[in-house]
Chain A
Amino acid sequence: MERKVGVWLIFLLHPLWLALGNTEGNALHSLRSNLIDPNNVLQSWDPTLVNPCTWFHVTCNNDNSVIRVDLGNAALSGQLVPQLGLLKNLQYLELYSNNISGPIPGDLGNLTSLVSLDLYLNSFTGPIPESLGKLSKLRFLRLNNNSLTGRIPMPLTNISSLQVLDLSNNRLSGVVPDNGSFSMFTPISFANNLDLCGPVTGHPCPGSPPFSPPPPFVPPTPISLPGRTRVQRNL
């Protein structure tokens, strides 16, 4: 009697395991469908397999859940997909040195196990999602050398584990925070952007007082700073 129950349980659970394995495989396959892959690096990404753990450039943990995606320097183009946010155990997302365009999906903020987010040297556009502030275990955030615009989200300063931040060579604007985890970051992390301002950049934000001895009061005038890219090397 017990053996029969056991056998039924196996039949019951088996498709369930298939489905769980497939969520992550499906997510990665969506990514594959949205990328252009001239070198066929994604050739092994077979969605009919029970899980993606045998795919090249994918690493799983002992529970067959994806922990690493390593696609740096793979000549990929196309765009990312929000389904990446379903890889809930993902620790390393390495997509650097490709030609991937489009926005950084806000769903990446759901990757709460993420330790390293490397999207540098691509053609990403749009803003840095505020949701990245939820990545409380993030140590490496390297988004440099893209065409990202907008402001640096304040929630990033709450990521106390952040060790390496590189937002250089983008088209970011607005104030650069220097509180929280950002007290460890220097002009190097923010160099060559469109219109960043604040103490760390060396020029004050519009409407705020300059840094060294306050000048005589001057009635405020509307300021529109022209876009410029400068390497910040002053102290």
Chain B
Amino acid sequence: MAIFVNMVLGRHFPKILISYGLCLLLSCSLSSCTETDVACLKSIKASLEDPFNYLKSSWDFNNSTEGYICRFTGVECWHPDENKVLNLRLSDMGLKGRFPVGIQNCTSITGVDLSSNNLDGPIPDNISAIIPFVTSLDLSSNNFSGGIPKALANCTYLNILKLDHNQLSGQIPPELGLLARIKTFSVANNLLTGPVPTFQNANISREDYANNPGLCGGPLDPCPGSSKSPHT
């Protein structure tokens, strides 16, 4: 018996290892590999400070029944018994830290709500590579700083984009006007300047731009140097 095992392992072990690895890779690519969604949530939990233990108490990765992450606080899955995250709602949990880039491994995520926390630092420049299918992104009421990334214009499925009540500065990338599905867009209460984008299919109100030091155009006062407000 031992000789047999020795023979098999000795000669064929590398082949077994390779084919096992290939099988794993194949199964990951043919179906949506939901090991990644577990890694996504683990990474988010690791990268954020959680002073009120909202995540610590509910996000327990030791229980491995099918679809277990679907029972986590703030996690909504595509199907109740499959670890595939649809929406992440972590609003008002006192969370601290940077934008959790580990969310990139939630490859089927469409809704991201991190509003009303204490997150800081920049919104990642490559946001459209991190959450390409996002339809609703709410980062409002945090301490995000730096510019609004142009890459948000590549998140073509965005319906709701809320960035209000942060410390975002610079200009709003005019390319955001290309987002054809936008219904809600808010950047009020930031440090933004310059002309507002011209949206194709949405009417953004004054309130959505309010309380920024130098925004102009659209529903606001005309930009300096132009004769009239640009119309959509």
B interface, CB within 8 angstroms of A = 78-79, 81, 86, 108, 110, 128, 132-133, 135-136, 154, 156-157, 159, 181, 183
Contact = CB atoms under 8 A, between A and B. Distances in A.
A29 interface: no
B159 A235 contact: no
B79 A235 contact: no
A137 B7 CA distance: 63
Contacts of A142: 78-79
B79 A186 contact: no
A16 interface: no
B42 to A, nearest CB: 22
B133 A178 contact: no
A97 B86 CA distance: 19
Interface of A: 72-73, 96-97, 120, 142, 164, 166, 178, 183-188, 235
10 contacts: A73-B81, A97-B81, A183-B181, A184-B110, A184-B159, A187-B133, A188-B78, A188-B108, A235-B128, A235-B154
A235 B181 contact: no
A97 B66 CA distance: 13
A184 B135 contact: yes
A183 to B, nearest CB: 5
Contact of B157 (A72, A97, A186): A186
Closest 8 CB pairs of A and B: A186-B133, A186-B157, A183-B181, A188-B108, A184-B135, A235-B132, A188-B133, A184-B159
A166 B86 CA distance: 11
A121 B110 CA distance: 22
B79 A183 contact: no
A164 B78 contact: yes
Contacts of A72: 81
A179 to B, nearest CB: 10
